[in-house]
Amino acid sequence: MPLTAQFDALGGPENINLVDLPVKQPGPGEVQVRMRAAGLNRAELLYVAGNYLVEPPIPAAPLGAEGAGEILAVGNGVSNFMVGDRVCILPMMDWAKYGTLAEVVNVPAEALETIPEGVSFEDAAAFWMAFATAYGMILDKGGMPKEADGRVALITGASSSVGTAAFQILTEIGATSIATTRTQMKAPALQDAGADHVVVTDVEDLAERVGTITAGKGVDLVCDSVIGDMIAPAAEALVPEGTMVLMGFQSGEIPGLPFYPILTKGIAIKGFHLVWHLLDNADRRKAAVDFLMPLWATGKLKPVIDRIFPLDEVSDAYAYMASNRHLGKIVVRIR
């Protein structure tokens, strides 16, 4: 029987186990996929701990929100995919029912996109959560134009896969990126990953550095996936009537709103959730796919993969993510 990752109790990565489970034939609207790779996301650590927006179906909770593989079978009503297709699984499934960290899975066909020719399964598994989220924060909710010369965006949590994707998208549209990191150790790697400027917030004043970089203007957009003690100085760094997009709770904190810049500068603060605000909306999903897919297929966009683990080390892979030592994406290879 195929191996499947699951957890039977709330806690840390040590609770994640591999079990042999039978896989039924795909139901109506579903496809069966031989998984080749899965991308890991910090939200899954919160899910395993019981601190995410979705409650895990303990015991035997499935795990994994995105991945890539080959279609083995299709269910009734599926006409746009066929056996043998190489597909990406987008992170838009019911976590209590579906997971991607398994050798064989059934998933909704609506959660699939094809893999461009020449793209590896590992890159395909690492692409959509990162790049669709970055696209949503920058172009959809953030309102950046596709020709954004002269615009500047500040990216917090910049060493994440979303951060490294954001650098590439901002470069593509002609905007300037400013990344934040707490320690000098990650600064060179962030620049190598495409950040135009890096501010080390433990030793540098954010407002002062932003002022120097932008000649006193400030940033047009803040993309914040941390939502911690950086929210106030990031808001202060915005231009009048600038925009801050909030996504994720990496800090684990819910800080007070920065009312002074909200009132004095008239800034807009918007929330963003990849599935609810983009992938579940047909028009917005199509706009994202139309923008991202050609750039991905031609190599202009490429996920930054920090490390690849085998499936039998999935618990170690999540522990590595929890250590915050990575830059970009962590992928599990499934063969």
| CATH architecture group of domain 3-127+303-333 | Alpha-Beta Complex (3.90)
pLDDT in tens, 288-323: 999 999 999 999 999 999 999 999 999 999 999 999
What residue spans define the domains of the chain?
A: 3-127+303-333, 142-271
- CATH class, domain 142-271, is alpha beta
- Cβ contact 274:136 at 8 Å: yes
Place of tokens 């995919």: 81
Give the pLDDT confidence score for residue 98 in this predicted structure. 97
Round the CA-based radius of gyration of the chain to a whole number and report it.
20
Between the CA of residue 161 and those of 155, 303, 310, what are the distances in Å? 12, 7, 19
Give the pLDDT confidence score for residue 253 in this predicted structure. 62
- What three-state secondary structure class fits 2? coil
Give the pLDDT confidence score for residue 157 in this predicted structure. 83
Q: Residues 6 or more apart from 15 whose CB is under 8 A from it?
A: 7, 8, 9, 48
User: Alpha helix locations (H) across the chain?
Assistant: 42-49, 121-135, 161-173, 187-192, 206-213, 231-236, 259-265, 274, 282-297, 314-322
pLDDT above 50 for 71? yes
pLDDT in tens, 92-130: 999 999 999 999 999 999 999 999 999 999 999 999 999
- Cβ contact 31:81 at 8 Å: yes
CA dist., res. 213 & res. 179, Å (int) = 12
Amino acid sitting at position 221 = L
Q: Which band of pLDDT confidence, cut at 50, 70 and 90, is reported for residue 44? A: very high
Beta strands in 97-151 (DSSP E): 104-108, 112-114
Give the pLDDT confidence score for residue 256 in this predicted structure. 67
pLDDT in tens, 173-218: 999 999 999 888 899 999 999 999 999 999 999 989 999 999 999 9
How many other C-beta atoms lie within 10 A of the C-beta of residue 294? 12
pLDDT in tens, 220-262: 999 998 776 788 899 999 999 999 999 866 545 666 678 888 8
For 274-298, what is the mean pLDDT?
96
CA dist., res. 121 & res. 71, Å (int) = 13
When the pLDDT of each residue in the chain is averaged and rounded to a whole number, the result is 94
- What three-state secondary structure class fits 157? coil
Q: Which band of pLDDT confidence, cut at 50, 70 and 90, is reported for residue 335? A: confident
Give the pLDDT confidence score for residue 111 in this predicted structure. 98
Report the candidate in 93, 96, 45, 47 with the shortest Cα–Cα distance to residue 67. 93
